Structure 1
């Protein structure tokens, strides 16, 4: 059975971001920033001569959490806020765990930082590799044709 710590329930969002920052700094990353807008969380950093940006959806409740207008029952609003914070903690905890594993592989020489975070490399024009390749990959699967990526196909 999984305990609350391993599920991320008792690990605050701030503690997870601190863990991420410390792990990245230990690896030698710089310019580490975090952000959150609505239901999206973000992390950006520089490392090994590259810029990286990870944008992730924060977990949301499946029930009606947003209450518009007057809040007739403040206890309901408070309960909703607690549920959202718990879900938010789980998102940041999962990202911290993933980053620890990726940095561990890079530190051990199993992979490079760039290969571990390739989808999140920021290209000139401020798009990530994922932003650029996702439509091409989707099109390739729909058409059944190998994408050219701007180069002639190899024999």
Structure 2
């Protein structure tokens, strides 16, 4: 059984975002920014001469609809909002833990910032490494052939 602390339920999403920002700044990152568009959130920062952008999908409601004039509509909506808020808290807490682990590895000399956040390095043209590589990797698995990185 996990406690609310280990599930991330005791932290607000805002508190976890603030923790992420503080951890990145303490590491030496600059220009730490958070943004959100529709159901995606992004964290951008600069560090070790590189730009990074982590884009993550936010938890969404289950999409079920409530029948109009349903007398339980209000309580159902409130219950769904609480479930979504709890999912968001867990999500941001898990992301904060993940970033903490990456920064700890960098701080201990186990890895570099670029290695730990390689997928999120912003390349010229404003696309990330993962944006460029995902289709190449998918194609390699479909074809069964080694991709060419010319």
TM, length-normalised to structure 1: 0.88
Is the Cα contact below 8 Å between 1:45 and 1:52 reproduced in 2?
yes
Name stretches of at least 5 consecutive residues in structure 2 with no aligned partner. none
Correspondence for 2:113: 113
Output the CA distance in 2 between the equivalents of 1:42 and 1:58: 10
Name stretches of at least 5 consecutive residues in structure 1 with no aligned partner. 151-155
Correspondence for 2:129: 129
Secondary structure at the counterpart of residue 127 of structure 1:
coil
Output the CA distance in 1 between the equivalents of 2:20 and 2:54: 12
Correspondence for 1:5: 5
Output the CA distance in 2 between the equivalents of 1:69 and 1:11: 34
Superposition misfits of 4+ residues, deviation over 4 angstroms:
66-72
Change (3 A) 1:133 1:78: same
Correspondence for 1:153: none
Output the CA distance in 2 between the equivalents of 1:16 and 1:68: 35
TM, length-normalised to structure 2: 0.91
**Shift of residue 60 of structure 1?**
2.7
Output the CA distance in 1 between the equivalents of 2:82 and 2:95: 20
Correspondence for 1:38: 38
RMSD: 2.0
